Amino acid sequence: MARIAFITPEFVTDVRNAGGLGNYLFRIGKLLVERDHQVEIFVYSNLEPSIVMHEGIRVERVTRLARGPWLRIMENMSRVPRVGYVFHLITRAYALAAAMQRRHRVAPFDIVQSSDYLAVGLAVRRVKGRVHLVRCSSAADLCNEVSGDSSTGEKWRERLERATLRRADKAYAPSRFVSAHYRNRHGIPVDVLRPPMGLEVTPSIDPPCGLPDRFLLHFGLLGNRTGTPWLTNALRIAFEAEPSLRMVWAGRGKFDEITDLRDSLGQHRFKVQILYPLAKPDVYAVLQRADATVLPSLVDNLPNTAIESLTLGIPVIGTRGVSIDELVEHGITGELVPLGDVDGLASAMVKFWRGETSVRKGFAWRGGIAEEMQPERAVENLLKMAAAAAGSSLNAPLSGNDSMKVNADEVNLMES
């Protein structure tokens, strides 16, 4: 039996419709508990500090840290314009690491896994007999390139996330796409470890609202990174070619931007139904009724939306080359479209609508990556990676009194 701590900025107990990271942690946490491991979550929360039990998982909600004068100074610095964001990220990392370390003194952990997302694992100590894994939830620089965000705050975030990866005993990503990015662009060794497939909850018996008799579904995060504007342009062509086609968009995004995209379709705008964030069982109820999902991401990292679709036997129309192609087998479990190909995406949707493809809803997802993602194998691979990392970390220097200090060289503070 292993004791495992997960450090995260989000979890399903604190954020309704938590993102991919929160849902992944719930999925892997449940599987570990079912196999008699002890799992604890340390989540930075806007709720009151507390400890709750969720499906056998101990969840500690961590809020602002004000222990010691220098930490209070850092917290105050987080309110300063321009530099405040980076101090907020560092303060949050220290708060989470401190909470985990206090718990470790009482009931030691064998494994600590943090996320690179928002650098929440930046301040985790290196302790003898304990291994620290960092999971790459995203590649911030790739996402910012797609969104056009070159702000000072986001540049700091990118550097802090890379520093988090470099400080780990082992870093890994769910996709080859993100792993190769970190290796090739930044020289950071990032392995590949697939997450477990499956659903966190049972789908609702009925959807929460009326739906078209037939529809294609675009769901999850709605916005530029997940290709919603590209999809909108493709729908203009698809609706002209096949007027009976219907679309449902379900998820979270910027309300005004999403409605503006829908309204830009003019006379066809009423063929797109928008459902804003639903409870997970209701999301699955809608997903089960879709003919196919349309996931034209510009950058991604083995998205839960694709995993959930394939798990339920729903074909995926997705992007080639941004990790969705690691999940979807073209012509077997879906169709893959070159990045940014408006005509190609429109054609794929029309083909599915008309039944002019060999891919049919209701398939059993088997073979290839699906075998790596079988729950038993995914858990086994995670524990094997931790064991290997523990062995390789025995010769690494342990932290002293300054073990939670962040080396400025690692973060490249002076990088322009």
Distance (Å, whole) CA 229 – CA 402 = 48
Q: Residue 232 corresponds to which amino acid?
A: T
Q: Tokens standing for 332? A: 């077997």
Closest CA to 25 of 45, 5, 44: 5
Bridging pattern class, strands 38-44 and 131-135: unpaired
All residues at 6 or more sequence positions from 53 whose CB lies less than 8 Å from its CB, including other chains: 59
pLDDT at 63: 86
Distance (Å, whole) CA 339 – CA 157 = 26
Closest CA to 296 of 362, 347, 256, 246: 347
Q: How many other CB atoms are there within 10 angstroms of residue 180's CB atom?
A: 13
All residues at 6 or more sequence positions from 260 whose CB lies less than 8 Å from its CB, including other chains: none
Which residue is listed with tokens 């858990």? 379
The whole-angstrom distance between residue 361's C-alpha and the CA centroid of its chain comes to: 25
Stated pTM of the model: 0.90
Distance (Å, whole) CA 119 – CA 9 = 9
Instruction: For the chain, 416 residues long, give each residue's pLDDT as a single digit of tens.
Output: 999 999 999 999 987 666 789 999 999 999 999 999 999 999 999 888 899 999 999 999 998 654 556 566 666 666 666 567 888 899 899 999 999 999 999 999 999 999 999 999 999 999 999 999 999 998 999 999 999 999 989 999 999 999 999 999 999 999 999 999 999 999 999 999 999 999 989 999 999 899 999 999 999 999 999 999 999 999 999 999 999 999 999 999 999 999 999 999 999 999 999 998 899 999 999 999 999 999 999 999 999 999 999 999 999 999 999 999 999 999 999 999 999 999 999 999 999 999 999 999 999 999 999 999 999 999 999 999 999 999 865 445 544 333 444 444 434 432 33
Q: How many other CB atoms are there within 10 angstroms of residue 56's CB atom?
A: 12
pLDDT at 76: 65
pLDDT at 400: 39
Residue 336 · residue 318 · CB < 8 Å: yes
All residues at 6 or more sequence positions from 29 whose CB lies less than 8 Å from its CB, including other chains: 6, 39, 41, 55, 57
Q: How many CA atoms lie within 13 A of 29 on its CB side?
A: 27
Q: Which residues of 90-129 are buried (b: 16+ CB within 10 A; e: fewer)?
A: bbbbbbbbbbbbebbeeeebbbbbbbbbbbbbbbbbbbee
- Where helices occur in 242-316 by DSSP H, the ranges are 255-263, 280-288, 304-311
Which residue is listed with tokens 């523990």? 390
